[in-house]
Amino acid sequence: MRALIGLSVLVALGLAGCGGPAPSVPPTAGSASASPAPTFSPSPSTPSTTSAAAAPSGEGRCHTAQLSARLGPRTDMGGGQGWLPLIYTNTSDRACVLRGVPGADLRGPADPNGPVYPLFRQRTGIQDVRLRPGASASARLVVLSDQDGSVGSFGSRNWTPTELASIPPGETTGFTLPWPAGLTVIRQDSATHPGSWIEAFAAS
């Protein structure tokens, strides 16, 4: 009997001595020890470089030869500011797409800043605007006019443009439009945030 007890003790000790750390096993799906998969909150959406409703195949950018341009009536904004719609109309027999901000240079008499005032391009709200034949789109042209005692860059005063030169986005030729008589513009050629600018096209 004592021999059997001793043998049992030896077997138990032998098994304990052979035991080492249990081999690690990669946690299986659903295992309590598995780390949960990381979750990501969607970041705020940013404007896409393409329109949500893409233009049908074959409808490219509007070219100068397909368009006409004109200025609409001024709307007062207060504080000497007002805006005029710069209106482009598709005069061709094919649809086309306007996207971006048109070039807008005011030209006029001699001034300490020179005879040309390139307006700042406000590049917010850019979208594709599809123009069917005969349809129009407009860009807001904001103008800060002279008030009593106002002085622009380099002492400029009472500068009144004679015409507006405008070029469609992506084009190299454009239009020359008469400027409204008597509508002055404060020259702020060197300002970081001038009071006059041109905005992106929107459907009319």
Give domain status of residue 39, yes or no: no
- Where do runs of H (alpha helix) occur along 19-63? none
What pLDDT, on the 0 to 100 scale, is given for residue 147?
86
Burial class (CB in 10 A: 0-12, 13-18, 19+), 17: exposed
What pLDDT, on the 0 to 100 scale, is given for residue 173?
97
pLDDT, mean of residues 165-194: 96
Cα angle 84, 89, 93 (rounded to 5 degrees) comes to 175
CATH of the domain at 116: 2.60.40
- Which of the residue ranges 19-28, 68-77, 123-132 would you say has the lowest mean pLDDT? 19-28
Label residue 58 by pLDDT band (50, 70, 90): low
Stated as kind and residue range, the H or E segment containing 14 is: helix 2-18
Rounded distance between C-alpha atoms, residue 178 and residue 162, angstroms: 6
Give domain status of residue 193, yes or no: yes
Give domain status of residue 146, yes or no: yes
Give domain status of residue 120, yes or no: yes
The answer to whether residue 51 scores a pLDDT higher than 80 is: no
Structural domain span for residue 169: 64-203
Percentage with pLDDT > 70 across the chain: 72
Rounded distance between C-alpha atoms, residue 87 and residue 71, angstroms: 6
Split into its structural domains, the chain has a count of 1
Give the chain's mean pLDDT. 79
